[in-house]
Structure 1
Amino acid sequence: MKIRSQSFFFIFFISIIFNILASPTLQRDALLEFKNEFPFDASDPYAPSEPPLSSWNTSSDHCSWNGVTCDANSSEVISLVLEYTYLNGSLKANTSLLKLQHLQNLTLYSCDLIGEIPFSLGNLSHLKHLNISDNNGLTGEIPSSIGNLSYLSFLDLSHNDLVGKIPSSLGNLSRLTVLDLSDNRLIGEFPSSIGNLNQLTIISCYSNKLNGTLPSSFSNFNKLSYLLLTGNKFSGGDLPLILSNLTSLSYLDISVNHFKSKLPSNMSGLHNLEVFRVNTNSLIGTFPTSLLTIPSLREISLSENQLEGPLEFGNTSSSSSELEVLDLASNNFYGPIPEDISRFPKLEFIDLSNNSFIGPIPRSMPQLVSLKYLDLSYNKLDGQVPSFLWRLHTLTLSHNSFSSFEEDVVNGSDPDLMSSNSFQGLSKVDISSNSLQGSLPGWICKCTSLSFLDLSNNLLSGSIPSCLVNCTASLGYILLRNNSLSGFLPDIFTNATELRSLDVSRNQLSGKLPKSLINCTSMEYLNLKVNKFKDTFPSWLGSLGSLSVMFLGSNAFYGPISSHFGFPSLRIIDISHNNFNGTLPQDYFVNWPEMSSMVGNEYYELSDGIDTFMSRMGGLSYEDSMDMMYKGVDTEFQQILYVFKAIDFSGNKFTGRIPKSIGLLKELRQVNFSRNEFTGSIPSSLANITNLEALDLSHNKLSGNIPRDLANLSFVSYLDFSHNLLQGPVPRSTQFQRQHCSSFEDNLGLYGLEDICGRSQTPGDTQESEEFSPEESEEVLNWIAAGIAFGPGVFCGLVIGYIFFTSHKHQFFTEKFGRNGIKTVR
């Protein structure tokens, strides 16, 4: 009886304590204490104009405060939801939130929290919903105490800076339906205990550093609707078992991992599936035709895997009638593109690039009336380019063997196709690197929304049509290089204010440059090389404030160059192999700010496609490529390496002294004044160009000594002083000693060459060697492989090109326009 009485009083005492803790005043005070844990600093430049939580004060009921929800009967705080509230501090281990013992929902979304998640949060035993996401300053590990929150159904710790492994204690959260740990720096594998969470409907752990294998217990998640693991390092797991059992799945994204597996042979049981995204892994096998039996499927992305075989869509009666996206790029599929691709009438996006498909474009493809994006590049397709394609938004057919455009478009025999409305949506056209013949098609002039046109590396002839003026107002890129186009460059640039890149190099264009180019105020890249242009130097282009790269080489330009022109953004200029003449004033290079400044000297590394699937969906890309003779092997280089600053004045008729002001251009990597008639001494100011990698002064009439200070140019890999009137000692340094003997030949007054010419191949030596023969050395041109990238989502480049090797030798590969050396794909 006494024991029963003591138990009664204990329970009564505890109830009094809880009632006191739950009293409205104490609940209010706990919230105010929490507010005071984050003092407001008005001097903080990131602070809002007024203090956060300003509505929290004693003049009003705490249940009416912003973000606070109370129980209607007891006034206990059951929900605290703070979003975009500038707390700018850390959660304390003894935070006043612990006094809100009936709290069921705690959301601190994008509150600028810093520090670690306190272990003590595991004491909020009534929590059902915990969201502490999007706080970039939140660090540390996920506290294992969260596994004590037995009522928790929603856990979101995404978009923070959390580290460490996923604690196995999360496997205790048997009521959990949503687990979001994405965009952190978590490592390790999923704990095996994760398989206990059979109520999960969403798992999102993308953009972490998780690795290893997926536990087979993932197959227990028969209620799982969303699985997002993209951007990790997972490599294994029984995918056929796991995926086949996720029968409630509607959205799957395990892309950008290292999975090495086959896909399930039968996925028809995933009858709710809408998105199947497994791209950028190492999956093997054939195309999973069972996917196409799922009526709800909207997207299939299998790109960048190792799938192989012919593409077959199966003979099933049911099909994915909702399919909008088919991305099979960068696999090993071969054979023809199936004619029954027309079974999917809602297709908007098709990417079959970088495979080995053959034959023509299917005749049935015009039935895909919703199609907007088509990429069939880097295959072995041939035949005609069908006319229906001009109704698309983005068309990429590059690097195939298409021979012509469909005749009704070329001749305009189809009035419906030739109407302006049929072309108004067309924005990007890339049919470069094919075998297209004939003249430029007239339909181009109908494309009034065209922003990107690339017909380079074909066999097109005739003139550039003047009607192109109809679409130059929207064009950002006109790339027609390496064809057989002739005639004048038409005066079509009056409204071309969006044009950023014009490349008509390696054609047979002639005449003067159109003055309307002065209107191209966005121009960054101008390439007119290897044509027959006959004009004076276009100093008037100096008003184009964005022009960074200008190639005028190998034309018939003539006359002196103005000493006062200024190109404020110019990084690379090539006026080589023309008929320019006269002297260059000593102050000639004074007003070239971009080449003397380190501003903008960033490094770029461009991928050989577009980085993500979503950017491929709508992104615009341009990537320069080049084909170079590399150690005797014709090698294709697809990636732009980095931004060079360079000048090439070679192969002209300049006289007088080389301007001393060249030394002001301290960021130059390449200087070439060869094959002119320069006289006088080599300017010692060249030693100020500390990043210089290649210097060619050969085939001039230079006299005097080689300046000793040039020996201090530590990055120089290529030097050529040959065929001049130089005398005196050759400077001694590692850079000079590594040069070939031919770099100093035909300078009868030079001495100190014993170490260089003693080990190098002599001019008469015909034995096989990795050095150049005399014939090759005469053809050595002076350019560094250079590239430049312009604009978000847009890649633009150029090639001038060199490759150096320096293990007691160097090899300099040069552009020879059809001879041995660099063969540039234009």
Structure 2
Amino acid sequence: MLIPIQSYFILFLSLIFNTLASPRLEMNALLEFKNEFPLSAPDPHASFAFSFSSWNTSIDHCSWKGVTCNANSGEVISLFLQFIFLNGSLKANSSLLKLQHLDSLTLSHCNLIGKIPSSLGNLSHLIDLDLYGNNLVGEIPYSLGNLSRLTYLLLAENHLRGEVPPTIGNLNQLTFMVLASNNLSGNIPSSFSSFSKLSYLDLSKNQFTGGDLPSILSNLTSLSELDISYNHFKSKLPSNMSGLHNLEVFDAKENSFVGNVPISLFTIPSLKEVFLSGNQFEGPLEFGNTSSSSKLKWLNLASNNFNGPIPESISGFLKLGVLDLSNNSFLGPIPGSMSQLVSLRVLDLSYNKLEGQVPSFLWSLPKLTLSHNSFSSLEEVVVNGSSSDLSSNSHVDLGSNSLRGSFPRWICRSTTLDFLDLSNNHFSGSIPSCLMNSTASLGDIILRNNNLSGFLPEIFTNATKLRSLDVSRNQLAGKLPKSLINCKSMEYLNLKGNKFKDTFPSWLGSLVSLRVLFLGSNAFYGPLISSHFGLPSLRVIDISHNSFDGTLPQDYFVNWHEMSSVWVDETKWPLPEDPIYQGSPFTMGGVNIFDDSMDMMYKGVDTKFPRIFRAFKAIDFSGNKFTGQIPKSIGLLKELILVNFSRNAFTGSIPSSLANITHLEALDLSHNKLSGNIPRDLAKLSFISYLDFSHNLLQGPVPRSTQFQSQNCSSFEDNLGLYGLEEVCGPIHAPDPTSGNSQQSEEFSSEESEEVLNWIAAAIAFGPGVFCGLVIGQIFFTSHKHIWLVEKFSRN
């Protein structure tokens, strides 16, 4: 039997041994965890990326990067690994489980794969768990509900699926939970009602469909930010949301919520931001008795089914800075009470049914978007005998209304204006020379489809920031202003559909950024200058329906480098489904591309615009008076999609070099004086959907390929020497190959013979951080059941 003093001595030795052994065990556990990922490497693109370089036995493990120990006991309490390519999965028996005092575990952006091991639920001391930004799959394990001390749970941006286990509701100490950007589905568990301490909840970008939201939300009284956007919720919002008295941000955009927006939401005194765009809310909008003490700064109700007038009570939100009510069915005038919104900076009321006069108190807003309504006039404000200050104005979009009268001269007083769209209205008269006062700051000027007349004035002397200019479909005449040569940032220039009478503006060759040039349907005349004039970035050119004449040298297209090379940066362009476009129409170069009815179908399948505009390169020289041969150098432009040389007086043979343009989808050489055979190599153009060789002097066999045999018979008519059309026109229409004067059948239908290709290509132009450009594409042709419809437009 041991005496008591001996017992104390043994206990003392045991404590010393455990104290010395524990750090060594934890060091070994960390090294074992490191070795579970033998190919790990830091993210080379992150300057603060984690590295295991400090993890070696020469120094105390509590000094290792990402490791934090308890200052008294030396136990590992935190592991912070971020931006390192672990390239492996968390094992069910991972050495992490030996770190039993761990209260914080961060493994974010580590390229983890596989499932979340249920054994993580054994780390009972965890307070923070962050697995953000990995490639984890499978379901959220039920065992995470065992982490009863957890206050911070972050599982966002993985590939987790299935329903959220109801055991997560056991984590009643949570203050912060983010499950966003996964594939989670089903209902929100009713156990979420236990999150009485939760202040931040983000379930966005999943596939949740429902849940008892009224019951759940009524208990989340500590919630300051709730994000359930980009899901599939189809219910109504709770009728009484006043219990969320700490709520500051409510984001439920891009769901399928129905019914009315509850008035109680707007009575929450702490509320600052509301995003409900992209749902199916309906009925008149009501705010109730708004308080002047309201903190609401951002309200987005765009893309719903609201109708009726904009409520006068909106004037109560005195701190409101951004208001977006676009894409609804609001009626009537803009309420005068909006003049009391002294903090308003951004207003978007586009795509509604608003009418009447645009009030002058809106002119001082930095960003004003009122397009696609029925406004009929503009009010000009006068203060103390002089017009109001427009120094803060940077964006004015009044396009697609019913505005009449002369060009609004108050715009000339804005020296900070970056974007101006007055398109698709009924403005008349001349463009004032005083606009020169604003062009120094302007990046986009869009005046197309009005009744503007006179000359385009010399207003571009200081327009060095101008990216796009569109004055198409007006009545402008005379010569082009030479001051355009100062627009060094110009990427898009559209002058089509006017009455400009000038020779080809060769001086535009100094605009090295110009990618799209539309001169079609004017009165330009004379020969084209040499191919060496510049425009190295040009991708789309339309000089159709003018009076250009003369011959084109055989090397004319030699220096058109942009059309002969693949654009390597196309993957950097955001798509319309990206968040930058959510809640607003897809725009390019500041112009809504759908304004031009750009509904495109190709072989019966909708074609996404990004594919077209990233790769779209086209030339249209049709409807002029060119003579001589089509330059063989056209074959160098191997990235062209569309080529149109129709309705000229070209002679000689079809250049076989066209077969080098392997991505070509439409080729129109009709209505010329071309002779000889159709080159056999054109049959290799596997992307071709439309061909037109009609009304020439061609002879010999029609090349055999699926692309040629799928064309309409009218694509070859009025070529007396062509034969081999049996599969296209049928045997009754086939000419006699032995006849020297074979005739096309008279049985072509008038519908077939009238089919033509009329197109103007589409374009790109972009400003910093924003995908822009401008599309004025117009294509109309049919090929059997293959349809490509963009927009039909009348010839001059």
Task: Work out whether the TM-score is over 0.5.
Answer: yes
Bigger mean CA offset, 647-656 vs 40-49: 40-49
User: Gapped runs of 5+ residues in structure 1?
Assistant: 78-101, 820-826
**Letter aligned with residue 537 of structure 2:** S
Task: Pick from 435, 446, 468 the counterpart of residue 501 of structure 1.
Answer: 468
Residue 32 (structure 1) shift = 8.9
**Letter aligned with residue 302 of structure 1:** L
**What's 2:492 paired with?**
525
CA gap of 1:457–1:640, structure 2 versus 1, over 3 A, is farther
**What's 1:373 paired with?**
346
- Which SS does the other structure have where 1:690 is aligned? coil
Task: Pick from 194, 210, 213 the counterpart of residue 236 of structure 1.
Answer: 210
Distance 1:668 1:505 in 2: 24
Q: Does 1:128 align with 2:107?
A: no
**What's 1:300 paired with?**
274
Distance 2:780 2:647 in 1: 21
**What's 1:790 paired with?**
766
- Which SS does the other structure have where 2:775 is aligned? coil
Q: Does 1:172 align with 2:133?
A: no
Tell me if structure 2 keeps the 8 A contact 1:772–1:811: no
**Letter aligned with residue 568 of structure 1:** P
After TM superposition, the structure 1 = structure 2 runs for residues 448-527 of structure 1, keeping only pairs within 5 Å, are: 448-527=415-494
Distance 1:472 1:543 in 2: 19
**What's 1:578 paired with?**
546
After TM superposition, the structure 1 = structure 2 runs for residues 15-30 of structure 1, keeping only pairs within 5 Å, are: 15-22=15-22
**What's 2:246 paired with?**
272
Residue 56 (structure 1) shift = 8.3
Bigger mean CA offset, 142-151 vs 481-490: 142-151
Distance 1:569 1:195 in 2: 58
Residue 583 (structure 1) shift = 0.7
Distance 1:305 1:585 in 2: 58
CA gap of 1:638–1:12, structure 2 versus 1, over 3 A, is closer
CA deviation vs aligned residue, 1:429-458 (integer Å, no higher than 9, x gap) = 111110110111112112211111111111
Q: Does 1:389 align with 2:362?
A: yes
**Letter aligned with residue 148 of structure 1:** N
Task: Pick from 558, 574, 582 the counterpart of residue 590 of structure 1.
Answer: 558
CA deviation vs aligned residue, 1:38-60 (integer Å, no higher than 9, x gap) = 99999997798999688889998
**What's 1:823 paired with?**
none
Distance 1:576 1:620 in 2: 23
CA gap of 1:788–1:318, structure 2 versus 1, over 3 A, is closer
**What's 2:378 paired with?**
405
**Letter aligned with residue 705 of structure 1:** N
CA gap of 1:612–1:474, structure 2 versus 1, over 3 A, is same
Bigger mean CA offset, 327-336 vs 235-244: 235-244
Tell me if structure 1 keeps the 8 A contact 2:253–2:275: yes
Which structure's relative contact order is higher, taking Cα pairs within 8 Å and 6+ residues apart? Answer: 2
Distance 2:176 2:40 in 1: 39
Distance 1:47 1:300 in 2: 33
Distance 1:157 1:647 in 2: 51
Task: Pick from 324, 336, 346 the counterpart of residue 297 of structure 2.
Answer: 324
**Letter aligned with residue 715 of structure 1:** F
CA gap of 1:612–1:783, structure 2 versus 1, over 3 A, is closer
Distance 1:242 1:27 in 2: 42
Tell me if structure 1 keeps the 8 A contact 2:677–2:699: yes
Residue 219 (structure 1) shift = 1.2
**Letter aligned with residue 710 of structure 1:** L
**Letter aligned with residue 742 of structure 1:** S
After TM superposition, the structure 1 = structure 2 runs for residues 73-152 of structure 1, keeping only pairs within 5 Å, are: 73=72, 76-77=73-74, 102-118=75-91, 119-135=94-110, 137-152=111-126
Q: Does 1:199 align with 2:182?
A: no
The total of aligned residue pairs comes to: 773
**What's 2:200 paired with?**
226
Residue 162 (structure 1) shift = 2.3
Tell me if structure 2 keeps the 8 A contact 1:781–1:814: no
Tell me if structure 2 keeps the 8 A contact 1:802–1:812: yes
Bigger mean CA offset, 37-46 vs 269-278: 37-46
Residue 115 (structure 1) shift = 2.5
Q: Does 1:567 align with 2:535?
A: yes
Q: Does 1:355 align with 2:325?
A: no
CA gap of 1:658–1:58, structure 2 versus 1, over 3 A, is closer
Task: Pick from 365, 373, 383 the counterpart of residue 414 of structure 1.
Answer: 383
Distance 2:66 2:86 in 1: 17
CA gap of 1:551–1:310, structure 2 versus 1, over 3 A, is same
Distance 1:245 1:357 in 2: 35
CA deviation vs aligned residue, 1:544-594 (integer Å, no higher than 9, x gap) = 111111000011111111123232111111101111111111111111111
CA gap of 1:620–1:602, structure 2 versus 1, over 3 A, is closer
CA gap of 1:44–1:613, structure 2 versus 1, over 3 A, is closer
Distance 1:68 1:630 in 2: 57
Task: Pick from 619, 631, 634 the counterpart of residue 659 of structure 1.
Answer: 631
Q: Does 1:739 align with 2:711?
A: yes
CA gap of 1:814–1:673, structure 2 versus 1, over 3 A, is farther
Task: Pick from 653, 670, 678 the counterpart of residue 681 of structure 1.
Answer: 653
Distance 2:522 2:588 in 1: 35
**What's 1:289 paired with?**
263
CA gap of 1:49–1:485, structure 2 versus 1, over 3 A, is closer
CA gap of 1:276–1:621, structure 2 versus 1, over 3 A, is farther
Distance 2:49 2:423 in 1: 58
- Which SS does the other structure have where 1:365 is aligned? helix
CA gap of 1:756–1:56, structure 2 versus 1, over 3 A, is closer
TM-score with structure 2 setting the length: 0.89
**Letter aligned with residue 357 of structure 1:** F
Residue 367 (structure 1) shift = 0.3
Residue 741 (structure 1) shift = 1.9
CA gap of 1:270–1:648, structure 2 versus 1, over 3 A, is same
CA gap of 1:364–1:605, structure 2 versus 1, over 3 A, is same
CA deviation vs aligned residue, 1:109-163 (integer Å, no higher than 9, x gap) = 345544333423123222222222233x233322222211222222122122322
CA deviation vs aligned residue, 1:596-647 (integer Å, no higher than 9, x gap) = 112358487842896366999x99954322226999xxxx999565122111
CA gap of 1:765–1:13, structure 2 versus 1, over 3 A, is farther
CA gap of 1:40–1:343, structure 2 versus 1, over 3 A, is same
Distance 1:487 1:62 in 2: 80
- Which SS does the other structure have where 2:751 is aligned? coil
Distance 2:84 2:786 in 1: 60
Tell me if structure 2 keeps the 8 A contact 1:552–1:576: yes
Distance 1:539 1:515 in 2: 11
**Letter aligned with residue 620 of structure 2:** D
CA gap of 1:114–1:720, structure 2 versus 1, over 3 A, is closer
Distance 1:781 1:650 in 2: 10
CA deviation vs aligned residue, 1:344-396 (integer Å, no higher than 9, x gap) = 10000100001000001111001000001111010000011111112111111
TM-score with structure 1 setting the length: 0.86
The percentage of counterpart residues that share the same residue type is: 65
**What's 1:251 paired with?**
225
User: Gapped runs of 5+ residues in structure 2?
Assistant: 734-743
Residue 11 (structure 1) shift = 6.2
CA gap of 1:310–1:49, structure 2 versus 1, over 3 A, is closer
Tell me if structure 1 keeps the 8 A contact 2:237–2:261: no
- Which SS does the other structure have where 2:597 is aligned? strand
Tell me if structure 2 keeps the 8 A contact 1:670–1:784: no
**Letter aligned with residue 414 of structure 1:** V
Tell me if structure 1 keeps the 8 A contact 2:690–2:783: no
